[in-house]
Structure 1
C-alpha cells in the first residue's frame, strides 16, 4: 500500500459542494491499494503512521506522533498514487488494485487507523472529491509498505 501523509492544521473533503469529512490538527492521508496488496500490509501501514514522529515537541523538533498530540486524520482514497509515468506523457494506473479490492482495503485501512486510537474522517471511495488543507511545516511524507 502507498500513502502520502501531510501534517495539517486542518483539512476537509467535499463531494458536490458538501463537506463529508474534516479534521483539525493531525494528518491528511491519501492512500492507494496496489494490485496484490493484503490486509496485513494495510495493518502495517496504519501502525507505522500512528507512531511516526513528525509533530513538533516543546523544542520544535519532530519528536511526537499523531497519538502523542491527540490528533485526528482525514483519509482519502487516491488511486492516482499508483501512477506509472515511465513511458509517454499519460500516466498508467494498471498497478492499482481493482476498484472492488481497492475499496475493501481502503475501508480496512481506515478501520485499522481508528483501532490505533486515532479519530478518522474519510472521503468517499470512487467519488469526484475536492480536498482542501493547510499543510503545517510544510511536512509531506511518502510511505509504502510491502
Structure 2
C-alpha cells in the first residue's frame, strides 16, 4: 500500500473537518427555520431532478448518502409526512418507485433559500473565484475517477 504524504493527510483531514462543520451549520440553520433536514432534502432533490420526479428505490439509494436500511426508514417517514408516495412498478411486480408529491416539492422549495445561503456563507464566501475553480476541477477529477472505478467494479460483478 502506498504511504500517504503529510500534505495528503492534512488535505484529507481538513476536507473532512470542513465538510462536517459546514453540514452542522446548515443543519442548524434549517432546524432554526423549521425546514426539512439535509437528509430529507437530499432525498427530495434526487426525486425532483429525476424524470417524472420518481426513482426506483435502488436508483434513489445510489443517489443519496444513506444506508439501505436508513433509506427505507426515511422513505417510510417521508411517506407518512406526505412528501413522497410509493408507486408499484408496472414492469416488475417486486419493484417500486418513490415519487415526489406536491407537498414534497413545496418543502424542498422552502428549504432551498436557507440551504443556498448556508452554502454561500459557510463554503463559498471564504474562497476566491480562482479557488472555487480549483476545487471544482479537483473534486471533478476525484469524482470522475470514483465513477470510473464504480463502473469497472459493476462490470466485474456482472461477469461473476
Return the TM-score normalized by structure 2: 0.25
Give 1 or 2: higher helix fraction: 2
Tell me: higher relative CO, structure 1 or 2? Use CA pairs within 8 A at least 6 residues apart.
1
Q: TM-score, normalization: structure 1? A: 0.26
Rg comparison, structure with higher value:
2
